[in-house]
A and B are shown apart, each in its own frame.
Chain A
Amino acid sequence: MIDADAGRAEALARRLSETAFAAVEVLRAPDAAYLGETVERLKPDLVIVDMDLPDRDTLEGIRVVSDKHPIVMFAGGDDPAFAEEAIAAGVCSYNLSGVALQDVRPILSAAVALFRRHRRVESELAEAKARLDERRLIERAKAILMQGRRMTEPEAYRWLQKRAMDENRKLAQVVADVIAQHESLEKGERPGRNTP
């Protein structure tokens, strides 16, 4: 298993050992720099790789460069939908010893599910962070308006909303404008009326 995310790799190893694959021995490549050597030494049946790492080229080159056949992703698997699913989730695998895809498919499915969940959690985190940032910025823009234009808080919010609607822009863009304009005025870059 080649994964820069130790937590995710451990979770997958744990899940495999809990299921029908108790007999599966999970090895982790310790150091990306020695990846080729490690794989050639350990001769694993199946390699599961995080697609965000550049090391897949090395893996594929192990046999190609030594003039034998290339190792093929999802060898023997005649299921493009499954491959597409895995790639979209950011994980792929190579079966090196000629085991058929259907035999290792449950392992791969577990990996795909785990990677997909991981990715979702990551994007949810990013979204939550973006929402928080946006709320913070709205508060800031409201404060600027309340101070500069002597508006009440609801008035300031309505002003921002109306402007967004009138100009057919996102609220976040209007908010960013108000703040940017205020900041440039504060720095004294542009003389002018104190209006956003």
Chain B
Amino acid sequence: MSRVISLATARKSAPPKMRIGLLRLTDGAPVIAADEFGFFAEEGVETELCVEPSWANIADKLCYGLLDAAVIVPPLAFNIHLGVRGAAQHLVIPYGVSAAGNSVTLSNALADDVRHRSRQSGVTPAVALRSVLKDHFVTFGVVHAYSTHNLLLRYWLETAGIKVGRDVQLAVVPPARAVEVLATGQIAGFCAGAPWGEVARRAGVGVPIAGSNDIWQNAPEKAFAVRARWAEEWPQQLCGAIRAILRGAKFCDAPENAEYTSALLSRRKYVDVEPHAILADLPGAAGSGRGCVFYRGATTFPWRSQGLWWLNEMRRWDLIDPTLDLRGLVADVYRPDIYRAAVMPIGESVPAADFKVEGSHRYNWVLDGSLSPIEMLPDRFCDGALFDPDAVESRLPPTPGVVVSTP
């Protein structure tokens, strides 16, 4: 009996369970693997994964303390931090979950047209799309206004001279609904995360014609966001959770584990689609060019320059108050210091800088790391722009595109 009591006492003083929200998406893989393989438990972190049906649920549950952390699109994390939707909840992003993995998927008819024109005139799919859209106005779906998908799609359309509002209309369609809505013809295409482009292709409903890599090579995608108060109260647990997810990321990033990972994710309680549809966007997938990245190229490092890129685009499309101090905001939310404190003790080589110029590498490159050089991935933008964080106006109302210098 005494043993039971002491256990109960111990549990009371133990740190709380970390409730982590995620959606039915392939890029939750490192967190799911860390949970399934007991990596969190080995770090002494008790977790509960909550697969939510909508970004709104993730946002509200973070806001009202029903979730402690989430695998989230960075623009929505800023939205919650700022209280754009209502109540604010301060968040920190100490870890990057994934890069790339999104697709622009068009209806079969539109995709045929685009590919035909693209081949005929030797232009990019984006430019071909512009000429197709001259003839008819269509609606594209994005998964949330404050999503990477909305911002990347807008960037891509803009570089081809396609104007949202004039040539195309954007509507919010939850990823899990995107395929059925594309099938009914209410939208002519969508930009969503894996596996939904591949699911549409397999259902014969649409064709992915471009991916994250066609817009911004290895574009940062999901981030791990934690309620700032939780992070302050339980720093050791947070560091443990980061190390656990990092282990999951290494597993999921290895091409030889892709089949296992897809089988795991396909379970009903996670993504709940057939494993082959998931496999197509995992690292090592043969030639899809859309695959998610979980570990390589310092993907797990929370680059402040990338946070600033999202904020700058949010300002460009009038999604945040233009008078906000973006640099201060990104310093509050993106926390490479926590990342370093968590992973340096286990011998991980980490970048020394918090910012880098984005978009200057067409090929793999090498970055100095704390222990050994880090092999980095290409990061070119589709229009060849360079994003120099030092050139970003921190507060002033921007003129669209002022930072993005096209060579």
Contact = CB atoms under 8 A, between A and B. Distances in A.
A83 B171 contact: no
Interface string A34-48: 101000000000000
A191 interface: no
Nearest to A35: B177
A70 B165 CA distance: 17
A97 B72 CA distance: 30
B325 to A, nearest CB: 22
Interface in A163-183: none
Interface in B160-194: 165, 169-177, 180-181, 184, 186
A22 interface: no
Interface string A20-38: 0000000000001110100
A33 B60 contact: no
Contacts of A134: none
Interface stretch (A10-18, A49-57, A135-143): A49-57
Given A33-B181, A72-B86, A74-B86, A57 B174 contact: yes
B180 A88 contact: no
Contacts of A53: 53-54
Chain A contact residues (Cβ within 8 angstroms of B): what range? Answer: 20 to 34
Chain A interface mostly: helix
Contacts of B146: 64
B85 interface: yes
B186 A65 contact: no
Contacts of B352: none
A86 to B, nearest CB: 9
Contacts of B371: none
B56 A80 contact: no
A125 to B, nearest CB: 19
Contacts of A74: 86
Given A74-B86, A80-B64, A92-B60, A33 B174 contact: no
A56 B56 contact: yes
Interface in A57-107: 57-62, 64-65, 67, 70, 72-75, 80, 83-84, 87-88, 92
Contacts of B181: 33
B86 A61 contact: no
Given A54-B54, A65-B172, A87-B64, A60 B85 contact: yes
Chain B contact residues (Cβ within 8 angstroms of A): what range? Answer: 35 or more
B53 A52 contact: yes
A54 B186 contact: no
Contact of A34 (B53, B144, B186): B186
A83 B170 CA distance: 30
B61 A87 contact: yes
A75 B65 CA distance: 19
A73 B54 contact: no
Nearest to A63: B145
Contacts of B169: 65
Contacts of B387: none
B16 to A, nearest CB: 16
A181 B121 CA distance: 68
Contacts of A72: 85-86
Nearest to B144: A57
Interface string B102-144: 0000000000000000000000000000000000000000111
B318 interface: yes
A57 B186 contact: no
A60 B142 CA distance: 12
Interface in B227-274: none
Given A56-B56, A61-B171, A62-B172, A33 B177 contact: yes
A57 B60 contact: no
B186 A58 contact: no
B215 to A, nearest CB: 19
B84 A33 contact: no
A67 B170 CA distance: 10
B180 A57 contact: no
B394 interface: no
A55 B177 contact: yes
Contacts of B381: none
Contacts of B176: 54
Given A60-B56, A65-B170, A54 B177 contact: yes
A144 to B, nearest CB: 30
Contacts of A51: 53-54, 57, 60
Contacts of A54: 53-54, 174-177
Contacts of A62: 172
A74 B165 CA distance: 29
Contacts of A75: 86
A34 B107 CA distance: 18
6 contacts: A53-B53, A57-B174, A61-B144, A65-B171, A65-B172, A87-B60
Interface of B: 53-57, 60-61, 64-66, 84-87, 142-146, 150, 165, 169-177, 180-181, 184, 186, 318-319
Given A62-B172, A65-B142, A65-B145, 8 more contacts: A52-B53, A57-B172, A58-B173, A60-B145, A80-B64, A83-B64, A84-B65, A87-B66
